[in-house]
Amino acid sequence: MADVKIPGGHNRQWDLLAYNVATQDQYHVENSVTHQLNWCPNTEKLSGIFDRKFRGVPPRREGSKTDFTKGKTYFDNILIAYQRVGLDPSKIQMVLVTCMRRNTRCTLPFGDSVTEFCPS
């Protein structure tokens, strides 16, 4: 299932939900893209993307009417939405897909350089 809307979520939708009938594996796949030419995320950046995409945590924004300022999250909406499409939230494997421009000075949070992790 692609582009699944989250009920009650303000502009929230999933990129892809997948179910393997043979193994009963369940996947929630999200992607994150950028136009930055040498994007090299650190652990904090990746964690923030993961929280926003999979846990419904709003991005940090200024202003009294933002979801962040109000302390609102969409995690409960996400759990309900999983169940509505017949998936078990405790069995879902979350996959974050992103890309980086090859840059030998960029080191991934877990220590491998991009050139070693993603050889051409």
48-99 per-position pLDDT tens digit: 888 888 888 888 888 888 878 888 888 998 999 899 999 999 999 998 887 7
Based on its alpha-carbon atoms, the radius of gyration of the chain, rounded to whole angstroms, reads: 16
Question: Cα(10)–Cα(94) distance, rounded to whole angstroms?
Answer: 21
Rounded to whole angstroms, how far apart are CA atoms 73 and 69? Answer: 11
What's this model's pTM, rounded to 2 decimal places? 0.73
